[in-house]
């Protein structure tokens, strides 16, 4: 059915009204009980997690692997008969721990580091289970095509020679009679891919020229931010609205090759209770070689390459069903059991090939909805006892250990923090990213120092081992409000929404020192600033890579008034 219009969007100044500062000032870290030394860095860079609010991690924001053979897409609803092959995963390096070889190993490691840095690349290996389909040699410290960035010391995003950006190209907004979903955007080295009304379009990132267009028989109604083996997944309706079927269900799953713009396959699934009608879905995600979609009737999964069915929706004797999946480096699910007045939720990690749970954590009774912030480690968000403030839908975060135990619980119920989770969509937690063994999120915006109307906030973090707030802090600056987009190695890529007289900024924040490095400063002229701030962070997608920023809408509609400012499906800026 057509997507209902979003609630009234917040004004361009920010998210909410001023509030009294907490002890220690707004956004100030909670002082630890005793001074602690910062933890020693790990021997090897940690694998950071996908961004959890629709801002994909590198290379999960659209970085493709080597393109595979292009073919004619199958008819809608039918998977191709010829499977596509995946390259073999790189073998894991061998190792030993004999005492007599320690000096030799250390010396060899130091030599390897010198050679690697001198050669300008980092070597990574994987076991084939991450969203990139397995580790490969890379020249930029990223897993090609997936969501598992390698935590190189400085990340892969370089400071442009000139950080002052200029407008790149803007796409006028489509004007359907009713509000429709256009969620989904992916950015590669050469192409910006954006969902449109009943189509997905690839644009050249140099001049905005259309590289390809992929039509669909009905409106798009969902998309994953994850990319694996050059491919991503979308949900769409089987037809456009008609007089007989005004609200077609969101029942179809499709996989798109981001390089060629071809539909690799499409299909649907039926359950024991749906009869001949396909099951409707709310969300779709990707983890490695698995595409998984779920809704109120349960979940199903397919092979990424050929659309072969992996599992179908099922409800067990206790009324348990998969309500939504989260992908990336691992595949996780929120499983709901029981009846409406007595639900029990389980957060689980799944075997992507079978759907069988490998880790399970039972949430406290009374929690009706939960979201997944990260799949590795598994971090779950919920509004416990409906205590969340500032319309965040999030009062607590639960860090789940490898055996299903609760490692840490992080309370956000005081309203100081701006992490958010949607009520009914499992993978739609926002304003939070996980990396370096921490969860980064902004403070709720508050009054700035220069005037009563000035707004600002800070980027803060929690330790995922202890659940305690760290001393990390990066200030947005007077008049700006900051939120994280994704991890870049051990760095955090963040966007700063501007005040009325300045342009927005993209910054890279060092995960160890929290020092900010400016990557982009957008124009401050009235026309450019007005276009940039017309996009509300609540209903927009932000993609940044290699000196280019794209901001896009997630819904489209006909303007309410002919006198309204021009509206755009997306706008973009480039620094050089």
Domain assignment present for 325: yes
Question: How deeply is 209 buried, as exposed, middle or buried, from its count of CB atoms within 10 A (0-12, 13-18, 19+)?
Answer: exposed
Decide if 543 is inside a domain: yes
CA–CA separation, 173 vs 192, rounded Å? 16
Cα distances (Å, whole numbers) of residue 527 to 339, 501, 503, 534, 560? 53, 11, 11, 11, 21
How many angstroms separate the CA atoms of 570 and 535, rounded? 9
Residue 120 lies in a domain: no
Q: What are the pLDDT digits (tens) for 475-516?
A: 999 999 999 999 999 999 999 999 989 999 999 999 999 999
Instruction: Answer yes or no: are the C-beta atoms of 389 and 13 closer than 8 Å.
Output: no
Q: For residue 177, what pLDDT is reported?
A: 86
The CATH number for 566's domain is 2.130.10.10
What is the C-alpha to C-alpha distance for residues 294 and 52, in angstroms, rounded to an integer?
Answer: 18
> Which carries the bigger pLDDT value, residue 91 or residue 164?
164
Instruction: Give the Cα separation of 352 and 344 in Å (integer).
Output: 23
Q: Is residue 12, in this structure, part of any structural domain at all?
A: no
Q: How many CB atoms lie under 10 A from the CB of residue 166?
A: 12
Q: What is the pLDDT of residues 372-429, one digit of tens each?
A: 999 999 999 999 999 999 999 999 999 999 999 999 999 999 999 999 999 889 999 9
Question: In this structure, is residue 5 part of a structural domain?
Answer: no
Structure tokens at 154: 């400085």
Spatial distance between the Cα atoms of 350 and 355, rounded to a whole number of angstroms: 5
Residue 81 confidence (pLDDT) above 80 = no
Task: List pLDDT tens digits, range 426-463.
Answer: 999 999 999 999 999 999 999 887 776 789 999 999 99
Position 453 scores a pLDDT of 76
Looking at per-residue pLDDT, the higher value among 315 and 276 belongs to: 276
Q: Does 529 fall in a domain?
A: yes
Asked if 368 and 377 count as a contact pair (C-beta separation under 8 A), the reply is no
pLDDT at 143 over 90: no
% residues pLDDT > 70 (the chain): 72
> Is 93 a domain residue?
no
Which pLDDT band, with edges at 50, 70 and 90, does 94 fall under? very low
Could you give the number of structural domains in the chain? 1
Q: What's the whole-number mean pLDDT along residues 220-241?
A: 96
- Residue 332 in domain: yes
pTM listed for this prediction? 0.76
Q: Contact 472/42 with Cβ under 8 angstroms?
A: no
Kindly state the average pLDDT of the residues 75-94.
Answer: 37
Residue-range definition of the domain harbouring residue 511: 166-574
């Amino acid at each position: 059915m057509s997507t209902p219009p979003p609630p009234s969007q917040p004004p361009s100044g920010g998210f909410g009204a001023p509030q009294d500062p907490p002890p220690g000032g707004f956004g100030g870290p909670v002082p630890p009980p005793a001074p602690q030394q910062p933890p020693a860095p790990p021997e090897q860079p940690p694998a950071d997690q996908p961004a959890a609010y629709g801002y994909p991690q590198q290379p999960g924001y659209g970085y493709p692997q080597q393109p595979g053979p292009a073919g004619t897409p199958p008819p809608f609803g039918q998977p191709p008969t010829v499977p596509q092959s995946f390259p073999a995963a790189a073998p894991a390096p061998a190792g030993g721990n004999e005492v007599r070889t320690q000096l030799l190993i250390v010396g060899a490691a130091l030599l390897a580091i010198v050679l690697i840095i001198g050669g300008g690349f980092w070597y990574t290996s994987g076991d084939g289970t991450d969203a990139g389909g397995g580790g490969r040699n890379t020249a930029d410290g990223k897993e090609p095509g997936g969501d598992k960035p390698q935590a190189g010391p400085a990340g892969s995003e370089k400071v442009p020679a000139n950080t002052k950006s200029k407008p790149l190209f803007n796409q006028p907004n489509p004007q359907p009679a009713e509000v429709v979903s256009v969620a989904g955007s992916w950015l590669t080295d050469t192409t910006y891919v954006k969902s449109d009304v009943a189509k997905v379009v690839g644009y050249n990132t140099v001049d905005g020229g259309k590289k390809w267009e992929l039509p669909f028989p009905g409106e798009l109604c969902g998309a994953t931010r994850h990319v694996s083996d050059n491919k991503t997944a979308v949900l769409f309706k089987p037809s456009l609205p008609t007089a007989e079927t005004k609200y077609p269900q969101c029942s179809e799953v499709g996989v798109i090759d981001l390089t060629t713009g071809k539909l690799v396959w499409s299909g649907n699934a039926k359950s024991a209770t749906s009869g001949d009608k396909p099951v409707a879905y709310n969300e779709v995600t990707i983890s490695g070689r698995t595409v998984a979609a779920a809704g109120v009737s349960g979940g199903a999964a397919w092979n990424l390459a050929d659309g072969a069915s992996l599992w179908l929706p099922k409800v067990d004797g206790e009324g348990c069903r998969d309500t939504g999946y989260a992908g990336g480096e691992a595949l996780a699910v929120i499983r709901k059991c029981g009846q409406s007045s007595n639900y029990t939720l389980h957060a689980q990690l799944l075997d992507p090939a079978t759907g069988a749970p490998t880790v399970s954590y039972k949430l406290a009774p009374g929690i009706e909805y939960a979201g997944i912030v990260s799949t590795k480690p598994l971090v779950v968000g919920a509004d416990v006892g409906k205590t969340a403030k500032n319309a965040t839908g999030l009062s607590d975060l639960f860090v789940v250990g490898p055996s299903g135990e609760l490692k840490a619980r992080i309370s956000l119920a005081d309203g100081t923090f701006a992490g958010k989770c949607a009520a009914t969509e499992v993978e739609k937690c926002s304003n939070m990213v996980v990396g370096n063994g921490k969860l980064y999120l902004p403070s709720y915006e508050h009054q700035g120092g220069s005037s009563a109307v000035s707004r600002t906030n800070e980027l803060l973090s929690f330790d995922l081992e202890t659940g305690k707030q760290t001393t990390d802090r990066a200030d947005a600056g007077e008049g700006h409000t900051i939120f994280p987009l994704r991890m870049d190695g051990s760095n955090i890529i963040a966007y700063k929404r501007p005040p009325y007289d300045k342009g927005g900024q993209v910054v890279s924040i060092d995960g160890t020192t929290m020092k900010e490095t400016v990557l982009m400063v957008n124009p401050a002229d009235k026309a450019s600033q007005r276009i940039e701030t017309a996009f509300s962070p609540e209903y927009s997608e932000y993609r940044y890579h290699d000196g280019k920023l794209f901001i896009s809408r997630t819904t489209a509609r006909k303007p309410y008034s002919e006198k309204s400012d021009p509206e755009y499906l997306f706008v973009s800026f480039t620094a050089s």
